[in-house]
């Protein structure tokens, strides 16, 4: 079983203690450390050889807030996947996810059991959307006429579109290379170009871009 190391940052001590105790007791999850302050977490991260695979992060905190923490991680520790759990949850999550590069955006009312599954999903796949979020994406696509794939010709090459579709299917760079008969290093190059051209901060951002531009249908994505 794949082991997921996590850290928790929230200025509500009660929530931190409850989450730490519950999640640490779950199979396949280890809580490395919990913090009530974003700066303390960054300081710990800079001096700790063990990094979390997934960070559970509050958005509104005293001092260094969640947006600042997420922005720092995207610049300095991009391999850490971020799940924001916020009492300020709103369905305008798409812009927030694209801006900060978080992998999932959840309300604090999320059930503990569901949270466990979301943590594992984010660790394995790099993103997670709730049912109401998927519904909103579908509604936005019916209201706004999305660009067709042909419209992307000047932005993304056909090979980059191939790589993007396979990333949306949760394929690894190795699997994409085997599928397209190209080297893994070449796949990584196309992936980096996708980040630059789309402005996405992580795989979740690429998924959002692909859905909004009709590169892939949301029904074709696996969320389990």
Same domain, 47 and 75: yes
Same domain, 107 and 14: yes
**Predicted pLDDT of residue 221:** 63
Q: Which two tokens stand for residue 167?
A: 């990333």
Same domain, 161 and 58: no
Same domain, 12 and 79: yes
Residue 24 · residue 31 · CB < 8 Å: yes
Q: What's the pTM?
A: 0.78
- How many angstroms separate the CA atoms of 67 and 131, rounded? 24
Same domain, 96 and 16: yes
| Total count of domains within the chain | 2
Whether residue 101 is predicted with pLDDT greater than 60 in this model: the reply is yes
Same domain, 115 and 147: no
- Give residue 224's pLDDT band: very low, low, confident or very high (50, 70, 90): very low
Same domain, 121 and 11: yes
Q: Domain boundary at 70, 99, 128, which?
A: 128
Q: For residue 67, what is the domain's CATH number?
A: 3.40.50.2300
Same domain, 174 and 110: no
Same domain, 146 and 192: yes
Strand, helix or coil at 30? strand
Q: How many CB atoms lie within 10 A of CB 60?
A: 12
pLDDT per residue over 136-148, tens digit each? 777 766 665 555 5
Residue with tokens 């402005």: 199
Q: Which of 27-36, 87-96, 147-156 has the lowest mean pLDDT?
A: 147-156
Q: Structural domain of residue 84, as residue ranges? A: 4-128
Q: Domain boundary at 128, 162, 184, which?
A: 128
Same domain, 87 and 145: no
Q: Domain boundary at 73, 102, 128, which?
A: 128
Same domain, 116 and 142: no
Distances (CA, A) of 73 to 26, 51, 80, 132, 198: 26, 11, 7, 27, 20
Whether residue 4 is predicted with pLDDT greater than 80 in this model: the reply is yes
Whether residue 2 is predicted with pLDDT greater than 50 in this model: the reply is yes
Whether residue 153 is predicted with pLDDT greater than 70 in this model: the reply is no
Same domain, 79 and 118: yes
């Amino acid at each position: 079983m794949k082991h997921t190391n996590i850290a928790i940052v929230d200025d509500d001590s009660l929530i931190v203690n409850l989450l730490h105790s519950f999640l640490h007791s779950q199979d396949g999850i280890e809580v490395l450390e919990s913090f009530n302050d974003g700066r303390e977490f960054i300081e710990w991260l800079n001096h700790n050889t063990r990094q979390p695979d997934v960070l559970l992060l509050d958005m509104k905190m005293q001092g260094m807030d969640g947006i600042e923490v997420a922005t720092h991680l995207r610049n300095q520790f991009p391999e850490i996947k971020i799940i924001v759990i916020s009492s300020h949850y709103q369905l305008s999550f798409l812009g927030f996810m694209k801006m900060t590069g978080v992998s999932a955006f959840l309300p604090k009312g999320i059930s503990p059991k569901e949270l466990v599954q979301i943590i594992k999903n984010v660790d394995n796949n790099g993103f997670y959307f709730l049912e109401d979020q998927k519904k909103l994406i579908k509604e936005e696509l019916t209201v706004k006429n999305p660009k067709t794939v042909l419209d992307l010709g000047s932005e993304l090459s056909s090979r980059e579109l191939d790589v993007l579709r396979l990333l949306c299917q949760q394929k690894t760079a190795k699997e994409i290379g085997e599928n397209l008969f190209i080297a893994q290093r070449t796949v990584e190059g196309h992936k980096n170009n996708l980040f630059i051209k789309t402005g996405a901060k992580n795989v979740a951002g690429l998924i959002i871009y692909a859905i909004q531009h009709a590169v892939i249908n949301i029904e074709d994505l696996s969320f389990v």
